[in-house]
Chain A
Amino acid sequence: KQEVTQIPAALSVPEGENLVLNCSFTDSAIYNLQWFRQDPGKGLTSLLLIQSSQREQTSGRLNASLDKSSGRSTLYIAASQPGDSATYLCAVISGGSYIPTFGRGTSLIVHP
């Protein structure tokens, strides 16, 4: 059974810092991995989708990397802003079953 762990569970940083959020998974037979953000009481917004054959994806200030062999992905946020405050979730789609498994998320607060 796929298990996804996100570290740290919570993070509070001053504006302008560069951040790294971590996601690890137990079964490396994945189809893809996706990073989302969730604002309080709302649905999820997709940030980056990395296919299993890719090593990284970039969108603006965000960069996500994927290392299947070690079962890890990192989300790098450059020059953080207060508007980045949200919970960040990673989700892994397992190969074969195509069932998505989500981590519990990293709650990020960026203070001015």
Chain B
Amino acid sequence: KAGVTQTPRYLIKTRGQQVTLSCSPISGHRSVSWYQQTPGQGLQFLFEYFSETQRNKGNFPGRFSGRQFSNSRSEMNVSTLELGDSALYLCASSQDRVKETQYFGPGTRLLVL
């Protein structure tokens, strides 16, 4: 079974730009969650999508948004990038995030200049 894939793996953007990250979950998994990892704040939950609906959301500004498609693939968008958005963005999929094990992708490393 193929694992969770994320594209792109590395990205460099400038302040004010927007960025879209993509995540393809393990086949059969309907839950996709996004996380931000930084040296300062550690690993923080952004949001979760389940069957195309946002089910939970962490404490992040509205510049961070996402969506999920009918094939469970998910995208995360960050608008008006700030320097502090530089981070490793991780995606995880599961049958059910709360009850079952989550499987993480390798992450997208975003650098905002």
Contact = CB atoms under 8 A, between A and B. Distances in A.
Interface stretch (B14-22, B63-71, B74-82, B101-109): B101-109
Contact of A89 (B43, B56, B92): B43
Contact of B98 (A44, A46, A93): A93
Interface residues of A, number: 23
Contact of A46 (B58, B88, B103): B103
Contact of A105 (B42, B106, B109): B42
B95 interface: no
A105 B43 CA distance: 10
B103 A98 contact: no
Please report whether the interface of chain A is mostly helix, strand, loop or mixed according to DSSP.
Answer: strand
B106 A43 contact: yes
B27 to A, nearest CB: 18
Given A49-B101, A97-B56, A99-B58, A42 B107 contact: yes
Interface of B: 4, 42-45, 56, 58, 88, 90, 92, 97-107, 109
Interface of A: 31-32, 34, 36, 41-46, 49, 89, 91, 93, 97-105
Q: When A and B form their complex, which 8 residue pairs have the shortest distance between CB atoms, in order from nearest?
A: A43-B104, A102-B43, A44-B104, A46-B101, A104-B42, A43-B106, A100-B45, A98-B98
14 contacts: A31-B98, A34-B101, A34-B102, A36-B104, A41-B109, A43-B4, A43-B90, A43-B104, A46-B101, A46-B103, A89-B43, A98-B97, A101-B45, A104-B42
